[in-house]
Structure 1
């Protein structure tokens, strides 16, 4: 059985599993839940980390310098057992290292760490990727947290996404799990989108660029979640159709392009990490109300 680590602040309580280093719950100290509970009737995920790819690969295979490797959707980190490297009352860090098994499907050495830390009513989730190998390493990294929709105490109220930058980013859709090259009109108006279940009839809404570095997910006259993103240029919003959750997903990378290459280095927004270097990615969410 996976180990569960609990961290607390004066306002929040968070539980994180060693399986996938995945957050299992996010509660305010008054007992309200904010994170999706993983009900298998809809979706067993809660807050998986996506590595070394975001989304799907053509025929579930990636290519590295022409060699083909089988790779499932969103990569393998979310289903791996991580090692607890450090923990305190308010923070915990899990690590995942390359193994003989991972090198058979992703031919690189790596060290991936994921830290959850609390400061009052704010949770910060930070991923660091290190390349100890002797060659550049291509990868994608994404966060996939699912929050309740409706938010606690906001049943029957309209819910919105408001971008900090007030932009109207163009929409990208998926075709058999791969991103299309077509750019569709933005569903945002002056940075604001009123959520409706029918928006997800065609799967996730992906905003490859232009959504900015922060947003607020809010119920009208009710509570809200304030997000900030660091080194995560792509935003996706997703709901399993009809399910009572909304995924707010900041990514560095996307699924491969429909009709495009399986090469890792040619996937949209792939990060190429030089030998011996590290890269950092983070999001924060603050509970308000």
Structure 2
């Protein structure tokens, strides 16, 4: 049986959310312009997966919590699990994933992961609440992985840029076989602006630890997507060679460091959530197709 989807509509946007991974399937303007990647398997089947309880790869694709060791593939298991639709209106919905025997076998915690999508005019707001229902501290990483069309509709081949609101040039931490190398290098931003080309992704994704910032994506003039992030200090940009999309990924936590072990708590910017407590994350994207 195919995953169920729920359609949301505002006066300016529409979207559809699948119960598989609580993943957005499209983001479309009232004029019919699609700004989200369509999941073509020729490049990448994802569209906007949620990353939990790890972001990126683990050494040998194995994680550990204390003495508990288990295999875990890149970006964790939430994106492969069926969420339950808890509530919805015409413009918003909330999906929930709770711990199960299958999740406890690899991640020995009781948790609740709540994902909310809401359309307000020409903006999409995505929020997440993670609740630790266990009796001990729960380490994890969390992130969003949405992919947007490159180039955006109606841009007529114009060069696209990612522009940081702060005009800063965050340091980059290169990847090696999916793991972060030790130490940072100067990043490719110049005065907070990065031109999107094939060449900048020749060595995999660009990861900017503690480099997250409100940003704009698109040409210097014309259609643009504007992003704001909440409690997501890390930023990654990813575009496979020749792919017609760009992933703009705000995270709290990153891949493990080269040479480190499998403990989730040792990963950069890992969260340690006390028992019975909750933490929230979120991002918004405003679509301007002027």
Bin of the TM-score, shorter chain as denominator length: over 0.9
Deviation, structure 1 residue 277: 0.4
Runs of 4+ in 1 over 6 A off after TM superposition: none
Note the 1:159-178 alignment, pairs <5 A.
Answer: 159-178=160-179
**What is the rounded CA distance, in whole Å, between the counterparts of 1:211 and 1:57 in structure 2?**
22
Structure 2: gaps of 5 or more residues: none
Distance 1:40 1:191 in 2: 33
1:116 counterpart SS class: strand
Shift of 1:182: 2.7
Are residue 6 (structure 1) and residue 7 (structure 2) matched? yes
Match of 1:216 in 2: 216
Match of 1:179 in 2: 180
Query: For residue 140 of structure 2, what is the aligned residue in structure 1?
Result: 139
Distance 2:138 2:58 in 1: 17
Whole-angstrom distance in 1 between the partners of 2:212 and 2:139: 24
Q: Which residue does the alignment assign to 2:247?
A: 247
Alpha-carbon offset, residue 28 of structure 1? 0.3
What corresponds to 2:263 in structure 1? Answer: 263
Between 256-265 and 228-237, the greater mean CA deviation after superposition: 256-265
CA distance, structure 2, for counterparts of residue 136 and residue 169 of structure 1: 31
Contact 1:63 1:263 in 2 (8 A): yes
Shift of 1:218: 1.5
How much has 1:42 moved relative to structure 2? 0.3
Distance 1:63 1:23 in 2: 30
Task: Output the CA distance in 2 between the equivalents of 1:266 and 1:82.
Answer: 28
SS at the partner of 1:104?
A: helix
Aligned to 2:251, the other structure's residue is in SS state: strand
Structure 2 CA distance, aligned partners of 1:211 and 1:276?
Answer: 28
1:16 corresponding residue in structure 2: 17
Deviations 1:95-150 (A, max 9, x none): 00000110000001100010000110000000110011110100100000000000
Question: How much has 1:209 moved relative to structure 2?
Answer: 1.3
- 2-side partners of 1:93 and 1:276: how far apart? 21
Counterparts of 2:85 and 2:68, CA distance in 1: 33
Cross-structure match for 2:87: 86
Matched, 1:53 2:57: no
Structure 1 residues 221-236: aligned runs within 5 Å: 221-236=221-236
Q: The residue matched to 1:33 in structure 2 has which SS?
A: coil
Residues in 1 aligned to 2:167 and 2:275: alpha-carbon distance in whole angstroms:
38
Gaps of at least 5 residues in structure 1 are none
Q: Counterpart in 2 of 1:102?
A: 103
TM-score normalised per structure 1 = 0.98
Contact 2:169 2:189 in 1 (8 A): yes
Instruction: Tell me the CA shift for residue 183 of structure 1.
Output: 1.1
RMSD: 0.8
CA contact (8 A) 1:49 1:144 kept: yes
The match for 2:151 is 150
Q: Distance in 1 between matches of 2:101 and 2:11?
A: 42
Shift of 1:210: 3.0
Q: Distance in 1 between matches of 2:84 and 2:212?
A: 34
**Structure 1 position 279, deviation (Å):** 0.5
Offset of residue 155 of structure 1: 3.4
Cα drift, residue 172 of structure 1: 1.1
How many corresponding residue pairs? 288
TM-score, normalising length: structure 2: 0.98
